[in-house]
Structure 1
């Protein structure tokens, strides 16, 4: 039996007082790659924020990587986020330090202490995203695609059970987007579970995976058409 890493039943997703998605039923099993699509304002980001504890789950039931979203307490959120790798559209790198120090900052904040283990882990995740020679570069010296690769490396640091990627190619040109998508696919093929919010339909056609759509306040699975070649 496949094991559910994320499950929502009859959930209602709110953005402040506004109900943006109702009657949400979603199950993602370990090892899946799932796209979350929909227009701006359709509820994609609110759903993502609910999953990583930024918004409360007001109604319905939900669990993610072993945490109950209904009873999630403020003090549990850092532990939830250690089991999630979160990749944002705008990278969120620290511009006053280099790539290595960006990643070291996260490891130290999550309790890593031994310099040798820290260095080894950073080298490992940079290699996974093709950035092993860029550790000395300042964040602001990198291209957008390189910054996003570092952001993906950062998401991998604590070996997360699930990666939530919120519009990871939203600020990138098409060629760079393909490079970032190749990285995410390689990570998925190595066994990681990924939920990726996107409005880039070209990528979805190029790399088909299970697709869920937010539209009209509801969430439903899209049956993908095979692209004519």
Structure 2
């Protein structure tokens, strides 16, 4: 199995505060993994460490072939190109259309050819069933549609790992299920996904490997078969 994420005896800090200790996690290519835990249990700090918003100062860790403890500032953009990050609040640029939002990311990550860029935008929007909405502005879309665009944006550079941080946190239950279906479809096509969530209904509906943040630890939860 090809490892996409590996942490051994790692400690996660936010500033000087120890958030999680003795973290041992392994995620392989093609996995779909949930990260659960109460608000304040360390889920976001864990995610931020993975996309290098917080440094890993204690323990071993590698993500998509980048060594986290020795990661240099100049390497962070290259790491992030191999990750797709989906946030709870979409983070779309409100003054640009859907297509322009996605083209902006491609330009920022070094794409040059207009034809290739347009083709890639169409391809990722197609994957999330938003192909006809490219000319719309974010405020003209529902929350679920905005999150689909955010997922399309995360797919642009063929990431080796998608980090979804509470992607259904601002959505109603029905829309959450629709967004979850999109993520599961993407996972079936080979994308590895780590999804932080507090929506236990989704875990019951779509059981998968689950990590739990609790009491400054992360451990795997063994789900009972119904």
* TM-score range relative to shorter protein: over 0.9
**By how many angstroms is 1:225 displaced?**
2.1
1:99 is aligned to 98
Q: Secondary structure of the equivalent of 2:99?
A: helix
1:56 is aligned to 55
2:121 is aligned to 122
Matched ranges for 1:3-152 at <5 A: 3-152=2-151
**Separation (CA, whole Å) in 1 of partners of 2:153 and 2:2:** 26
Deviations 1:60-112 (A, max 9, x none): 01000010001111111110000000000000000001000000000000011
**By how many angstroms is 1:179 displaced?**
0.4
Question: How many pairs were matched up?
Answer: 226
**By how many angstroms is 1:166 displaced?**
0.3
Structure 1 regions of 5+ residues with no counterpart? none
What is the RMSD of the two structures over their aligned residues, measured on CA atoms? 0.6
**Separation (CA, whole Å) in 1 of partners of 2:95 and 2:15:** 33
**Separation (CA, whole Å) in 2 of partners of 1:55 and 1:153:** 25
Q: Secondary structure of the equivalent of 2:69?
A: coil
**Separation (CA, whole Å) in 2 of partners of 1:11 and 1:111:** 33
**By how many angstroms is 1:58 displaced?**
1.2
The alignment's TM-score, normalised by the length of structure 1, stands at 0.98
**Separation (CA, whole Å) in 2 of partners of 1:124 and 1:79:** 23
The alignment's TM-score, normalised by the length of structure 2, stands at 0.99
